[in-house]
Structure 1
Amino acid sequence: MTGSCEAHVSQGVDHVAAGLVACLPALNRYIKQSIDRQLPYPALPERQLTLLQYVAEHDGTTVHQAADALRMMPNNVSALVTRLTEAGLLERHQDDTDKRVAHLCVTAKARQRIGEVENIAAVQLATALRTLTDGDRGALGSALGALEALTRHLRDHSA
């Protein structure tokens, strides 16, 4: 009986994994399209926005710390930092003890843009959630903790 139960659980896990693989990129794509249409300026490429959001949450981080956290090559992060600095969205502050190290900070302009993007996404999702049944909204709300745990696991165990 144990083998049958394990097979059933595995099929359930495989079904959930396949559903998430199908839904999450589409959900992200629809939100991004909505953001792109509503911004009064060109949207940043995804990697630039991801770096800005990371620096906003980790004020004073270095290029190497951001590269490690975002699973990117330091030279790629450095190139993104250069573009974002030129656009007035990031600032580099030289380390007091090691002049080769720069600490990154987002500008007020960047904080405003991050807020605009997050607001557009939140409004878009809230509007879509209002079209669902109470049961579907409840199920999604109940799943938030599990999705956060899954995200942490993937972040901590991805190479």
Structure 2
Amino acid sequence: MSPSAPAAPTANGVVEVIPLLHRALDRRIELDFPHPKPPEVQLAALRLVRERDGITVRELAEALLMKTSNASAMITQMTAAGLLRRERDPADRRVLHLHLTDEARRRVEEAHDLFTGYVLRAFGSLGEDDRAAIAAALPALRRLAGLIQKPS
């Protein structure tokens, strides 16, 4: 289904601004983060495990829209790098639950604080109308992301 003519400029704007915002944050953190930056998918996995401690490999793969085998391979790399800890489920030994290591938790928090600081400083330079518009758009952007994830 194609967007209606009036919605097309807004859809194009969203498609253009999100990568721009991501690149701006990514470039800034490269300057200030004292640790090697993992690939984006690993950062997303770390954030997800932080939010949902004990998440299973299958749940992580589904949330990141990955094949379970690819997620498992990534988790093996991240475990070897000391970022994740795997624990077998006592009821079903085939199931692995994921937890951040203490070092990974510190790094994720540090990166989150940097990202938040960048946005807060930039946000403070915007006018009140822009800040209100961004705040008002957040729930709709979250719903939009959810709708994009689900194939129609």
Match of 1:69 in 2: 63
Equivalent AA in structure 2 for residue 37 of structure 1: L
Residue aligned with 2:86, SS: strand
Alignment map for 1:129-148 (pairs within 5 Å): 129-148=123-142
RMSD of Structure 2 on Structure 1 (CA): 1.7
Equivalent residue runs for 1:118-157 within 5 Å: 118-155=112-149, 157=150
In the alignment, residue 100 of structure 1 is paired with which amino acid?
R
Among candidates 67, 81, 84, match of residue 87 of structure 1: 81
How many residues get paired? 150
Distance, in Å, in 2 between the alignment partners of 1:143 and 1:74 is 33
Match of 1:107 in 2: 101
3-state SS of paired residue (2:5): helix
Structure richer in helix, relative to its length: 1
The question of 1:39 aligning with 2:33 is answered: yes
- Give, as a single letter, the amino acid of the residue that structure 2 aligns with 1:67: A
Q: CA deviation at 1:120?
A: 0.8
Gaps of 5+ in 2: none
% identity of equivalent residues = 37
What TM-score, normalized to structure 1?
A: 0.87
Q: CA deviation at 1:132?
A: 1.6
Other-structure match for 1:78: 72
Residue 116 (structure 1) aligned with residue 110 (structure 2): yes
Letter in 2 for 1:44: P
Describe the SS at the equivalent of 2:91: coil
CA shift at 1:88, angstroms?
1.3
Structure 1, unpaired ranges of 5+: 1-8
Report SS of the residue matched to 1:93: strand
Distance 1:128 1:57 in 2: 26
